[in-house]
Amino acid sequence: MGTGTGTGKGNGKGNAGNAVNHPDERGPSVRFGADPDRPDGRRRVVVDAIRPLIDGGAYAVKRVIGDRVRVEADLLADGHDKLAGRLWYRGPNDQSWREAPLSLLPPGPPPAGGDGDTWTGEFVVDALGTWRYTVSAWVDSLESWLWGIERKATAGQDLSLGLRDGAALVLAAADRAPAGPARETLRRLAASMTDSSAAAVGLPVLLPPEIRALMHAYPDRSAETVREPALELTVEPLRARFSNWYELFPRSHATDRPDESPAGHGTLREAEGRLPYIAQMGFDIVYLPPIHPIGRAYRKGPDNSLTAGPDDPGSPWAIGAAEGGHKSVHPQLGTLEDFHHFLRAAQDLGMQVALDIALQASPDHPYVREHPEWFVHRADGSIQYAENPPKKYQDIYPFDFSGPAWQAAWDELRSIFTFWIEQGVTVFRVDNPHTKPLPFWRWCIASIKKRHPEVIFLAEAFTRPKVMYALAKGGFSQSYTYFTWRTSKRELTEYVRSLAQPPVSDFFRPNFWPNTPDILPEHLQFGTRGTFIARAALAATLAPSWGVYGPVFELQEKAARPGAEEYAQNEKYQVRQWRLDSPDNLAPVLERLNRIRREHPALQRLEGTTFHRTDNESLLCYSRADERGADLLLVVVNLDGYNTQGGWIDLDPGVMPMGEGVRYQMHDLMSDARYVWTDARAYVSLDPRVMPAHVFHARRLVRSERTFEYYL
């Protein structure tokens, strides 16, 4: 990491001769007159390895409202001089920069310790939008003098000349102080230090703590180094990091109609009836697949068959018909006012509605007729439909994001989001964003968030890890993940560890889904009720955001289309009816998991995850602690959906130290049972036919001299 040069701008503190270097908002090329070929030799401090940092500052770090942002930097200089530094930060509504002190980390292992050159500071983000932060540092001449003069005093050396040097530094600090008592106190101190008897009096008398604090209040920052340009930080709503998603096809939730058997295509008004059920389970985001008119050309039939009958509804992702396109509501679902009513009903229950935005068009979309230049044309003049050989999607036309008319196309596609934002939608699930250019998303999301920082974007991108990361860096708030296919103890441990460490954790927010309409993984196809519960418990306790495709999940539907990881009788291609009164419904389990998540801050962040060793490969054990360490949960999951599995857990002493007089009460939040663990080894047995997971709230017990127990 290189260093920035000082800007030479004053901050109004002290006299005009002591210019303080402020972070430069105008970019790295602006140096306020500094000559890059001749650096300012007075600035001896190098600001190195600032953290958090994404790709050298090319992308913004992510946080949510209310977060305490910890910033670290390595401050380096020649010789033995002491250093000082400041953390600079500026929110979207701030008119000027704010400062916080930097402190030298004591030597020791991170995060509490450093290597002797690592400094840290922090600030709280209290507004949505783009923040900026940086670090500045300078040689602390006063502290350097104090260090030297104290060593001389300890060695019994003559202090007369050294005190005169110090007096000059104190007098300079007095000149920087505003007129008043502080300036006068420092001037009197400087005079006393040049007195012939000062050396005999001694430093503790001359410089008591309150005087030292006053001296440090007016440092010489004329040779301050500022790390430029300032780094960006995006602050989003809490649900960008911590959220519970439930996917719902409104057309499959028609109420009983006397004239129809079975009930036909449902409406948004009818689907409202499911909202209390979803809210009762503790989900706070209801995700709707595309609600737009569906094309008729090349419409797919049941199970993605190439031939559709006259009553087959088609795939919601084949967007656009004579009735309208991406800014219209499917007539069979209702009207725009019906959607507004659905939105208000969800909000009244404490939930948000997420809309699926798929940037593609059916052959019947008005865009195809009005703007054929927005699509790719083949040699015969026809428009290229979507393909993933050997699969063909004749009912879908991709947009041409880099064609001759790309600018107009980009503007129109962005306007789809802004249209629905104007209707009150602030959460979007974006379909297959990895098949659209990364620069488009960075531009589109940044321009939307500039006006609407409250908007959340979930990327449905099951693709290569670096592409998924690039989408997150480009602005997506959350991302689908590979959790759906991670099943073994080793796979889950390695995957979560890869997501929980900086720099990945500073920009990539995982959302764990056990299933989706496109994906019925093999372990669910052949799993048991215990398998479904285990996957829900893993998703809900490993990731701060999780979701289920319901109601097929809580009803444990697992019939697959032959030869595919997809549901048979898939809701993507046909209307379904659901009987949620089944005694096997997992709704009570999902409700309990979401309540645990809501009540325990430890599960609302990915950091603080520790995996504990088990002697059984079918048992996965991990803990999660909140930022202050006050909330600690220990989770044990049986990964075998068929058989009871037992084994020994070796608790990590860094998380749960066991010793004489220290025990833990383990309250299983799934069963409400309580146990007391007295040793660093514990035996656990889980029967998947009963409950395949423990979610323990661990509370430390300490025996006092009065022999009663209390909790820490």
Q: Which one is catalytic: 431, 554, 557, 631? A: 431
Residues in CB range of 604: below 8 A, 6 or more apart: 241, 242, 544, 597, 626
Last residue of a domain, one of 576, 600, 624: 600
Say if 36 falls within a structural domain: no
Say if 595 falls within a structural domain: yes
Shared domain for 398 and 505, answered yes or no, is: yes
pLDDT band at 23 (very low <50, low <70, confident <90, very high): low
Residue 33 has pLDDT above 60, yes or no: no
Kindly report the average pLDDT of the chain as a whole number: 90
Mean of pLDDT values over 499-525 = 96
Last residue of a domain, one of 585, 600, 615: 600
Q: Which two tokens stand for residue 319?
A: 């967007």
Shared domain for 412 and 549, answered yes or no, is: yes
> Tokens 């290189």 correspond to what residue?
2
Q: Which one is catalytic: 228, 284, 395, 460? A: 460
Residue 256 has pLDDT above 70, yes or no: no
Residue 14 has pLDDT above 70, yes or no: no
Which residue type does 152 have?
Answer: K
Say if 420 falls within a structural domain: yes
Say if 31 falls within a structural domain: no
Shared domain for 111 and 153, answered yes or no, is: yes
Say if 493 falls within a structural domain: yes
pLDDT band at 25 (very low <50, low <70, confident <90, very high): very low
Mean of pLDDT values over 292-315 = 93
Q: What's the angle, vertex CA 67, arms to CA 62 and CA 72, rounded to 5?
A: 70
> Tokens 């003069």 correspond to what residue?
149
Q: Which two tokens stand for residue 381?
A: 């003049």
Number of neighbours of residue 415 by Cβ within 10 angstroms: 12
Mean of pLDDT values over 432-456 = 97
Three-state SS annotation for 86-146: EEEEECCCCCCCEEEECEECCECCCCCCECCCEEEEEEECCCCEEEEEEEEEEECHHHHHH
Q: What's the angle, vertex CA 327, arms to CA 326 and CA 333, rounded to 5?
A: 90
Shared domain for 78 and 168, answered yes or no, is: yes
Shared domain for 390 and 526, answered yes or no, is: yes
Helix axes of 160-176 and 209-216: crossing angle, nearest 10 degrees: 60
Shared domain for 515 and 643, answered yes or no, is: no
Say if 33 falls within a structural domain: no
Shared domain for 251 and 317, answered yes or no, is: yes
Mean of pLDDT values over 1-18 = 34
Helix axes of 587-599 and 529-542: crossing angle, nearest 10 degrees: 20
Say if 259 falls within a structural domain: yes
pLDDT (tens digit, 9 = 90+) per residue, 95-131? 999 999 999 988 777 666 667 899 999 999 999 999 9
Mean of pLDDT values over 31-41 = 55
Rounded Cα–Cα distance for residues 605 and 625 (Å)? 9
431 catalytically annotated: yes
Q: How far is CA 632 from CA 333, 419, 537, 672, 698, in A?
A: 45, 43, 16, 16, 6
Phi and psi angles of residue 135, each rounded to the nearest 5 degrees, phi first: -135, 145
Mean of pLDDT values over 363-382 = 95
**Predicted pLDDT at 260:** 53
**Predicted pLDDT at 253:** 94
Residue 9 has pLDDT above 70, yes or no: no
Query: Comparing 178-182, 485-489, 647-651, which segment has the lowest mean pLDDT?
Result: 178-182
Task: Tell me how many domains the chain contains.
Answer: 3
Residue 177 sits in a domain whose CATH number is: 2.60.40.10
Residue 6 has pLDDT above 50, yes or no: no
- Point out which residues pair with 46 in neighbouring strands: 76
Shared domain for 555 and 612, answered yes or no, is: no
Residue 423 sits in a domain whose CATH number is: 3.20.20.80
Shared domain for 231 and 241, answered yes or no, is: no
Query: Could you give the percent of the chain with pLDDT greater than 90?
Result: 73
pLDDT (tens digit, 9 = 90+) per residue, 323-353? 999 999 999 999 999 999 999 999 999 999 9
User: For residue 306, with 0-12 CB atoms within 10 Å meaning exposed, 13-18 middle and 19 or more buried, which class applies?
Assistant: exposed
Q: What's the angle, vertex CA 3, arms to CA 88 and CA 75, rounded to 5?
A: 70
pTM for the whole structure? 0.90
Mean of pLDDT values over 491-505 = 96
Helices (H), 218-327: 268-271, 275-280
- In terms of residue numbers, what domain contains 198? 46-235
**Predicted pLDDT at 313:** 95
Say if 40 falls within a structural domain: no
Shared domain for 282 and 160, answered yes or no, is: no
Shared domain for 59 and 94, answered yes or no, is: yes
Residue 15 has pLDDT above 50, yes or no: no
**Pairing state between β 662-668 and 674-677:** antiparallel
Q: Which two tokens stand for residue 536?
A: 């829900």
Last residue of a domain, one of 571, 600, 629: 600
Shared domain for 668 and 700, answered yes or no, is: yes
**Predicted pLDDT at 262:** 52
